[in-house]
Amino acid sequence: MPSRVLSALFTGALLLLSSAHAEAQRSHTVRAGQSMSRIARRYHVAVWDLALANRVRPAAMLRPGQRLIVPPRGVTYVRPGQTLSHIARDHECTVSDLRRLNRLRGGLRAGQRLILPGYEAPGPAVPRDWGTPDVPGLVTIRRREGTAQVRLLDEERRVTREGLVGLGDLMRRREEDPSEVPHPRLASLLAAISDHFGGRELTLVSGRRPSGGYTRETSRHVTGRATDIRVRGVPRRQLWDFCRTLSHTGCGYYPRSTFVHVDVRTTAAQWVDWSRPGARPRYGNLSRAWPRFCRSPRRRTHRLCRREGRRVTAPEAVPDEAVLTDEARALYPAPVEDVEEPVVDEYETASDEEEEPPEPLDT
């Protein structure tokens, strides 16, 4: 076989391998009069990324019928002369994140394919049986340097006094802060999450925190109705997906952080925030942050303003009204009531209380 044919076959094989990604592969067949820039605008990718994915120059002439690979979202290619600092600045991430995610130890080469932080998660979570907890309602919670086992629910699925007091201690921002009793439905929510994932250790990244910065006075973190959490060995996307099956809960997914926000409320809410911890919110869907024009109600039907669906399939896991033991009810001098939520798109922002790296995923 001629060497030119072998070379062409080898190049084609490399292109197919490089395009294998968690998302479905996209391709485009060139039509008469189309240019690289026009095709890039159509698929909302950079011209350089489109060109390097196909090993051509950005100004290359295209021929009708030519097939181009369209790089998936969350993938970029190193341009000639680019450094990791340039790429991190352009995509609002850190150099360390890029190195960790792409396992980089040396320098870059032009045309090298990089995955951007926040896009490494797979698509829709595959249902999995996480096993049965040894003791339902008994939750192992990691906070700062230590862990504690807290019996949030008793055998009759009632919120316990021991659980509320223990959870209140763990939710303090600092050790010297006074302990306040959280909302009882939050105890039910955390117990439901722990039980669903087989009693795996739950890390409480942020519990109570005062208002200020991007934390509004109406934040549920201020009133003991919200936590930012991880579950050991559980992908954040699967944790978020489970939260979305529960009734009267808020579920926040932060692709560029290491936790999921969960809260209790009178209505169901969910959001995806592409900001980094402690930064201004950048709401969107699982694919990308929304463009600015999506803020207008008239434009929300635009394809770039797509919102994620939600189906409450496990309403019984977290009752709308928590059932307390008599001892637990004595902690509240007045009946526990939920405040009606305003019908606006006001969600929670990412916490800046990162204390430790996330646990590795189970294999």
Q: What is the pLDDT along the chain (363 residues), one digit of tens a residue?
A: 444 444 444 444 443 344 334 344 589 999 999 999 999 998 888 999 999 999 999 999 999 999 999 998 789 999 999 999 999 888 777 888 888 888 898 889 999 999 887 665 444 455 678 999 999 999 999 998 789 999 999 999 999 999 999 999 999 998 889 999 999 999 999 999 999 999 999 999 999 988 877 677 888 999 999 999 999 999 899 999 999 999 999 999 998 888 999 999 998 899 999 887 778 888 999 888 898 888 888 877 888 888 888 989 999 999 999 999 999 999 998 766 655 454 334 456 555 444 333 333 332
Q: What pTM did the predictor assign? A: 0.68
The rounded distance, in Å, linking the Cα atoms of 297 and 291 is 13
- Output the pLDDT for position 359: 35
Cβ pair 328, 202 in contact under 8 A: no
C-beta neighbour count of 149 within 10 angstroms: 11
Q: Which residues contact 112 (CB under 8 A, 6 or more apart)?
A: 77, 78
Cα first-last separation, the chain: 43
pLDDT score for 39: 93
Sorted by where each begins, the domain ranges of the chain are 24-115, 138-329
Amino acid occupying residue 73: R
Q: What is the pLDDT of residue 32?
A: 93
CATH superfamily of 24-115: LysM domain (3.10.350.10)
Record the tokens describing residue 272, joined without a space: 């995806």
CA angle 318/320/326 to nearest 5° reads: 85
Q: Percentage helix, strand, coil, to 5, in the chain?
A: 25, 15, 60
